Structures are given as structure tokens and as C-alpha cells.
Structure 1
């Protein structure tokens, strides 16, 4: 089964100030600017095995970091920039429409950097349901508890997206319930597009402009998505973080996704478990409780940690950055710069370790 990684990293200069990627985006077709100037995205091509995914991801990062060194820039593996100046978007018609519909809540998205894992479509209904059931695994990569200097949650990025950005349009930005068929998922997408279009028209946007910039495939920002690209089922819940941690999660997620092709997948009770011949998902309401704990408490929640262990994750093997930088109610802009510089250097060291091993 093919799989790939997308990760967004903040770009900073030698003083820790947010800056633009510049010529970093010219390295290959697999790197590009994101929708805000200081954010940079790296995408691996589809890889058939985890070993190929690992080597491709590490080699691409090494190439980018070599160029970043030449430009006196660093890539920062944090879910938010912690604190600092106001971030603006690159101008686009799509963003303009989103801002009119979502209002000021849309601004929260400008401070979020995440990791997306793609898996080739196979047993799509099972894939969608299993990824929904595994959504609490976002806690394994929580990498910033801060937004604009204030502590908001163990996983600030997930909190901002789910609780703030799409607060008034929860079905467009929060986890969806399990499905019985792909057609059921597609009907949900059609309804979300209709709702968004109606809201845009009510906000004074021409309907043709909405239709030119949004489709049912891309009108939602839910943690689990069906994508026409590759084509894949995408899980986009975790934060950006250190590459070794992303790879660990990609390997363990991939193991579960491979297993569902020869295991029975069913929903039952409130515990959940992955065994050799069965993947048991908890009732959806229970998953939502685990997700809330994953966002607010992370791995400090014993319920989340034990649930993830039952679902096949080696929880002790993870070291969420949030645990290392948490502990203050407020981080000043200067302290945030120091954190960004420290973790930019740690990302370089992390890639060097991956190269050696």
C-alpha cells in the first residue's frame, strides 16, 4: 500500500524571526510555500514501503536543510510559532471567500503547522473508520501548547482548528462519525459544499466565485479526508514536529492500516483494541472523549495513553515536544524566538541522527 507524508514547518532567520522560505521552494517539485508567508511544506511522493518512505523523507529534508543553511534559515518543528508578530495570508480569492464566511475565526488557521499522512485507497470504508478511531493518536505528536504567547491546550494547533477556526461550522472542521458506505461519506461532502455555498452567498459572495474555488473534495478541513490525489485517505490531525517522531507515527499508523486488509473491523463498546485478526473501534462518542483529552491533556491523560497502547502504539517511544516546552502560562516574543531557534537546531540534529542510522 502506497503512503506519503506532508509536513509544514515554520521558517525563521538566524534571529528566530519568522521569514519566508525564499529559494527553499525551488529545490524540487515536492516543496512549496503554504498559504501564509513563513510556512513551508514538504511532500514525499507515494512510497510502496515504509523503508522507502523513511529514506525519501529524510533525504528530502537533508536537501532542504542544506539549502537553508546557505540562506541562514532554519525550519522549526512546532505546531504553532508560539508567539510573535501578526501573520498575514498570501492573497487569494479562495482565502478571501473563506474569511468572509468564517469571519475572524478563520485567522486562527494562520498560526497552525501540521503533519498529514496519506494512505492509498483500498478498503475505503474501513480506512475512514479506522483513521477516525485512531484520531486520539494526535497526542503522540503534540508540539506546542501556545497561541500568541498564551497557553491554550496541550495541543494548541488541534484546539485552534477544531474549537476556534471552525467553531461556527463544526461539520467542516471536526471529526466525522463512522460511515457504512463511501456514498454516505460523499453525501456528507455534498451537504457541506451546499452549506458553505449558502453561507458564502449570504455573506455577499457571488455563487459563481464559490463554485470556481471550492468543490466537495476540498470544502472541508476535517481531520480525516478522502482525496482525489494519488488517490488517498488522508489523516491530518497531528502537529508538525521532529522528523523521527513523524516517522515513528507513520510506521505505526501504516502497520494498522495494512492490518485492516486482513482483519475484521467492527465498532463495539468503549475500550477499543487491535489484535492479530480484529480491529475493534470504540463507539464514536467515546472516540470524541479521547480526542478531547488528547487535545487538552495529551499523553498526560492516562485514558488516552492506555487507549493508544491497546490500539497498537508504543506510547513510551514518543516524546511530544509540548512536554518539553510546557509549564508557563505565557511566553514572551523574545522567549518564543529562542524556542524557535532551539527547535530549528534540534530538527537539524534529528535529521543527522536519522541519516546516520
Structure 2
């Protein structure tokens, strides 16, 4: 099964201030600008094996960090910038329309950096449902509890993205219920595209401009998405984090995705369990309860950790960065810059360790 990784990192200067990536996004086709200036995205090509994915990801990051050193910049693996001055959006028609429709809530998205894992489409209905049931595993990469200096949740990114940015358009940004068929999923996309178009036109956006910037396939920013590229099912629940942690999660999620080829998928109860013959996922309401724990309490929730262990994760092997950063109700701008520098150096050491091993 082919799989790939997309991960977003903040770019900072030598003082820890957020910075434009500049030439960092020019040297490789696998490094791209994001919709806000101080963020870039690293994208691996599709890889058939985990070992190929690992080596490709590490090599890309190592080259990128060497280039960053030349430019006196650093990459930072935090789900939010903790606290910052104003973050500017790169001009685009797509962002302009989102701002018109979402209003001031669109600003929350400017503070979010995440990890996206792609898996080749196979048993698509089962893939969609199982990935939805694994949404609580986002806690394994929680990497910032702060939004604009205030402590808001164990995963500030997941909280502000789902609860605030898409507060008035929940189906556009929050987890969807299980589906019986792919057709059911696609019909939901069509309905949401129509509703977004109506909302945009009510805000004075021309229909032609909407159709030029959006389609039913890219109208949602949900934790699980169907993508035409490769084509894949995309799991985009967790924060950005250290590469070693992302790779661990990619391998464990990938193992479950591989099991779908020969295991029965059953929806039952509230506990969940993965065996060689069967993948039992909880009723959706139970999953939502686990998701709330993942966002607010993180891995510290014993009930959540037990669920993830039953689903095949070695929870004790993860070290969410939130646990190291947390402890204050407020982080100042100066403190945020220092923490960003600290974790920029941590990212460099992590890549060095992966390169040596």
C-alpha cells in the first residue's frame, strides 16, 4: 500500500520570531508555501514501504534544515506558534472567499500547523470509518497547549481549528460520522459545496469566483478526507511534531490500514479492539467522547490511553511535546520566541538521530 506524509512547520529567524520561508520553498518540489507566510509544508512522494517512507522523509528534512542553516532560519515542530504578533495570509482568491464566509473565525486557521498521512485508496468505506475511529490518536502528537499566549487545551490546534474556526460550519471542519458507502460520503460533499456556495454568495462573492476556487472534493477541512491525488484517503487529525514521532504514528496507523485487507470491520460498543481477524470500532458517540479527551486531556487520560492501546498503539513510546511545554496559564511573546528556538534545535537533533540510525 502506498503512503505519504505531509507536515507543516513554522519558520523562525535566529531570534525565534516568525519569518517568511523565502528560498526554503524554492529548492525542492517537495517543499511548498502554506497559506500563511511563516509556515511551509514538506510532502513526501508516495512510498510503497514504511522503510522507504522513513528514509525519504528524513532525507527531505535533512536537506531542508541544511538550507535553513544557510539562511539563518529554523523550523519549529509546534502545533501553534504559542504566542505571536499578527500572522499574514498569502493573497489568494480561495483565502479571500473563506474570510468572507467564516468572518473573524477564519483567523484561527492562521495559527495551526498539522500532520497529514495519506494512504492509497483500497477498501475505502472501511478506511474512512476506521480512520474516523482513530481520530483520538491525535493526542499522541499534541505539541502545543497555547493559543496567543493563553492555555486552551492539550492540543490548542485541534481545539481552535475545530471548535472556533468552523464553529458555524461544523461539518466543514469537524469529524464526520461513519458512512455505509463511498457514495454517501460524496453526496455529503456535494451538499456542503452547495451550502458553502450559498453562504459565499450571500456575502457578495460571485458564483464564478467560487467555482474557480472550490469544488466538492476540496470544500471541507475535516480530519478525514478523500483526495484525488494518488488517489488517497487522508488522515489529518494530529499536530505537527518531531519527525521520529510522526514516523512512529505513520507506521502504526499504516499497520491498521494494511489489516483492513483481510480483517472484518465491525461497529460495536464503546471499547474498540484490533486483532488479526477483526477490527472493532466503537459507536461514533463513544469516539467523540475519546476525541474530547484527546483534545483537552491528551495522553494523560487513562481511559483514552487504554482505548488507543486496544486499537494497536504503543502509547508509552510517544512523547507529546505539550507535556514538556505545558505548566503556565500564559506564555508571553518573549517566552514564545524562546520556546520556538528550543524546539527548533530539538527538531535538528531529532533529524540528526534519525539520519545516524
Q: TM range, normalised to the smaller chain?
A: over 0.9
Partner residue, 2:52 = 52
Q: Deviations over 1:30-52 (max 9, x none)?
A: 00110000001000000000000
Structure 1: where are the runs of 5+ without partners?
Answer: none
Q: Specify the alignment match of 2:326 in structure 1.
A: 326
* Alignment of structure 1 residues 244-283 onto 2, 5 Å: 244-283=244-283
Per-residue deviation at 1:303? 1.3
Structure-1 residue corresponding to 2:119: 119
Q: For 1:32 and 1:97, how far apart are their aligned partners in 2?
A: 22
- Residues in 2 aligned to 1:206 and 1:74: alpha-carbon distance in whole angstroms: 40
Matched, 1:286 2:286: yes
TM-score (norm 2): 0.99
Distance in 2, matches of 1:276 and 1:32, equals: 39
1:38 maps to what in 2?
38
Superposition pairs of residues 73-92 of structure 1, within 5 angstroms: 73-92=73-92
CA deviation map 1:265-324 (0-9, x unaligned) = 010011000011100000000000100110011011111110000000000000000000
Matched, 1:149 2:162: no
User: Does 2:199 align with 1:193?
Assistant: no
State the distance in 1 between where 2:264 and 2:224 align.
21
Counterpart position of 1:297: 297
> Which residue of structure 2 aligns with residue 102 of structure 1?
102
Aligned residues: 357
Q: Which runs of 4+ in 1 moved over 2 A?
A: none
Please tell me whether residue 222 in structure 1 is matched to residue 213 in structure 2: no
The CA RMSD over aligned residues, in Å, is 0.5
CA distance in 1, matches of 2:27, 2:21: 11
> Helix, strand or coil: the match of 1:98?
helix
Q: What SS does structure 1 have at the residue aligned with 2:54? A: helix
Query: How big is each residue's C-alpha offset from its partner over 1:145-176, in whole Å with a ceiling of 9 and x where there is no partner?
Result: 00000000000000011000000000100000
SS in 2 for 1:185: helix
CA distance in 2, matches of 1:179, 1:134: 15
Are 2:2 and 1:2 equivalent residues in the alignment?
yes
TM-score (norm 1): 0.99
